[in-house]
Structure 1
Amino acid sequence: MTTLSLPIVDLGIYLKNKNDPLAIIECKNTAKALKDYGALLVKDPRVTEADNSTFIDLMEDYFDQPFEVKLKDARPEIGYQVGVTPEFKEEPKCHRDPNCQSIIDQMPEESRPLISTGPDPKWRFFWRIGDLPKETKFPQLNAEPVVPDSFKDTWPTIMNQRGNQMHQAVVGVAEMLSVGFGLPANTFPDLTKYGPHLLAPTATDLNKYGKLGVICAGFHYDINFLTIHGKSRFPGLHIWPRNGSVKTQVHVPEGHLLVQAGKQLEWLTGGEITAGYHEVVVTDATLQAIKNAKITRPNRPLWRISSTFFLHVASDNMLQPLEIFNSNDTLYPPIFTGDQIKRELELISLMKA
């Protein structure tokens, strides 16, 4: 397994002067990075590590509550699309996807993911960000957010601050991607207006599951348009770049954000960009970070929190390859985005057919 230095793009250069030749170069680098790797690192001067730390502290406190307290925030009747998703509820997609199994079978033995035999031990919380559509065929995917009783005074402020930061950053990347492909700058951002965007931290209890080789999140791709992450306090993320099948550890430097391509972006580009496969497991580096945390933060909850945000195409938009991309109607037939999401949620056991 290797450690990869992903391409870095500077959103600040683009925001300063969108017509500057250097900004256009950054846009082209964005498109190339997502085509070649399915992922990139982005610098956005509006997003700070201090804000990320405040957010992670809140999540650690929330997930360290008793099981029954957190369960009050679950909404299984709408596929857990807002509120909390308990551990051992979300099943890695590969369990039901022959194509995914085929991809693994073609990998060199040393680059294959760890194969889980059941649902992930991670928890998740979905907090809705952005304007809700006035009308939608998919109300399950566009529900009002859930505010936990124990955090009513601080939750909306911190979650909205962090979520809006991540939202504006990833929409900026979507704009740069549009320009990088020679499209009008608003092409991809407009498709995401009124999308069911989610600030979506995952959480794994390292007191229970902090053992070498434990799979926190099994091999999968993201089903949305673009995913953006802040830096986690505990390493363990592996990706499989498109330009090779080598299992790769990802290091997110301080002050950077990680962006990954999702299935909706693959659909819109007709496979020009493919959704990036990844997993989260407990590694030697994770164990070292656990030891360090017990020394430097002895009175804090020991949970691995991912600072994750999912940018979605609006549920009522038709998902199909844009004209500039060679389309394959067999692989990417026209479909309402809401229907695409519902099908994916069925495959990971969060929504019934």
Structure 2
Amino acid sequence: MELPLIDLAPYVDVVTGKFSCDELLHPELKKVCSEVSRSFRETGALLVRDPRCPNEDNDRFIDMMEKYFEQPEEVKRLQERPHQHYQVGSTPGGVEIPRSLVDMEMQKNLRALPKDRRPAIPTGPDLKSRYMWRVGPRPSNTRFKELNSAPVLPEGFPEWKKIMDSWGFKMISTVEAVAELAAIGFDLPKDSFTNLMKLGPHLLAPTGSDLGRHGEEGTVFAAYHYDINFLTIHYKSKFPGLFIWLRNGERVEVNVPDGCLLIQAGKQLEWMTAGDCKAGMHEVVVTQKTIDAVNAAKRENRCLWRVSSTLFSNVASDAVLKPLGHFAKSPTADKYPAMYAGEYFEKELAVINLKGKDGA
């Protein structure tokens, strides 16, 4: 199954004033809204093309992050912030524990899947490294200071802040567009999600996976999991290996077309729709296609780090996370009790070992 591809150009015309906001209710755009919400319901993901996110910006970002991840571990260790739940700065491989390793209910669900749909079973922490860069303004007062910490700037990268902020803000703009289209498709006011995103702890969070050290087929870099944020957005990676699960349990390898972005539903969207839209499950593993791409990179003397262009958009930490609008009357609404988004986030971080003794 191919994920639907949504062209955001008509929406961008509205945002930039080429058309009036009333054009969002035009039959063609209403059809797009329905397609967005349907895709989130059925697959937990969709592909988008946004003229504001050119390939050149992603290339500049990836080139810089490859240089960062290629540095010695002792250099990257200077940017680690465990006391801030690893929500800014560097997270080394071997820290984050996949939920599928510790969640008994999830393990039960995995065993119920047919063998050809089961993920790679993790045996320990994820091998992936990550860098968390806070994008956008932070609240002046918050109950959740660790989740809203100031970004960490590494030495030796004079263009770091400019490149990270520029690319981060562009991807947030794409997420906001999709959030408005989804809200209309879910029969909610169009700003239902975007209002809650204001002052959210949005994170440009590139993942680095060292294929030079861990390039064997079947190696798991990011084990089967869901994202705990609102919507996750990625640009195309140079190395394949990302798999997602559809609502019907089918396991699908994601192929992001050139110039497009992948958007996945996170747990916060599931919460606000009372489970009508489930957080998308996914994993990153080394396949034969990955190995073929690694061999091509070796021949061209290119970097062997698989870097994802990932951004986690979030509901503001001090906003109340709860089913919205008509979803509050859903039979499943009681499974999603009202709580601060930051409270929910910290509970999830504790499960995956990002908020523990060092980050309490």
Aligned 1:254-333 pairs, distance under 5 A: 254-296=258-300, 298=301, 300-325=302-327, 326=330, 328-333=332-337
The CA distance in 2 between the partners of 1:210 and 1:95, in whole Å, is 22
* Number of residues of Structure 1 aligned to a counterpart in Structure 2: 346
Partner of 1:8: 5
Q: Which residue of 1 aligns with 2:104?
A: 98
Q: Residue 346 of structure 2: which of 338, 342, 346 is its match?
A: 342
- Aligned partner of 2:186 in structure 1 is 181
Structure 1: where are the runs of 5+ without partners? none
Partner of 1:226: 231
Question: How far 1:247 sits from its partner (Å)?
Answer: 1.3
Query: Aligned partners of 1:251, 1:77: CA distance in 2, in Å?
Result: 37
Moved over 6 A (4+): none
1:83 to 80, 85, 89: 89
Deviations 1:155-205 (A, max 9, x none): 001111110111111111101111112222111100111110000000011
Contact 2:139 2:199 in 1 (8 A): yes
Structure 2 vs 1, CA of residues 228 and 327 (structure 1 numbering), >3 Å: closer, same or farther?
A: farther
Distance in 1, Cα, partners of 2:73 & 2:331: 46
Matches within 5 A, 1:50-129: 50-129=56-135
Compute the displacement of 1:293 (Å): 1.1
Contact in 2 for aligned 1:13/1:22 (Cα 8 Å): no
Report Cα offsets for 1:185-233 as digits up to 9, x if no partner: 1111001111100000000111101110000100000000000000000
CA distance in 2, matches of 1:110, 1:184: 40
- Secondary structure, aligned partner of 2:345: helix
Give the secondary-structure state (helix, strand or coil) at the position aligned to 1:209: coil
Name the Cα RMSD after superposition: 1.1
Q: Counterparts of 1:323 and 1:185 in 2: how far apart (Å)?
A: 12
User: 1:21 Cα shift?
Assistant: 2.0
Aligned residue for 2:318, secondary structure, equals coil
Tell me the SS of whatever aligns to 1:260: strand
- Distance (Å, rounded) in 2 between the aligned partners of 1:294 and 1:23: 45
23-32 vs 67-76, greater mean Cα deviation: 23-32
Match of residue 163, structure 2, among 132, 151, 158: 158
CA contact (8 A) 2:100 2:122 kept: no
* Residue 327 (structure 1) shift: 5.2
Q: Output the amino acid matched with 1:262.
A: G
Q: For structure 2, which runs of at least 5 residues remain unmatched after alignment?
A: 15-23
What TM-score do the two structures reach when normalised by structure 2? 0.94
Percent sequence identity over matched residues? 47
* Corresponding letter in the other structure for 1:28: S
Cα-to-partner distance string for 1:262-291 (whole Å, 9 max, x where unaligned)? 000000000000001000000000001001
CA contact (8 A) 2:232 2:263 kept: yes
Counterparts of 1:136-151 in structure 2, within 5 Å, are: 136-151=142-157
Distance between the aligned counterparts of 1:99 and 1:273, measured in 2? 19
Indicate the SS of the match to 1:207. coil
TM-score calculated relative to the size of structure 1: 0.96
Q: C-alpha deviations, 1:79-133, integer Å up to 9, x for none?
A: 1000000010111011221221122011001110001110011100000011101
Instruction: Choose which of 13, 28, 33 in structure 2 pairs with 1:27.
Output: 33
Code of the aligned partner of 1:120: D
Greater shift, 72-81 or 20-29, is seen at: 20-29
Distance (Å, rounded) in 2 between the aligned partners of 1:44 and 1:327:
36
Deviation string 1:323-352 (CA, Å, 9 cap, x unpaired) is 311153542111111010001001100102
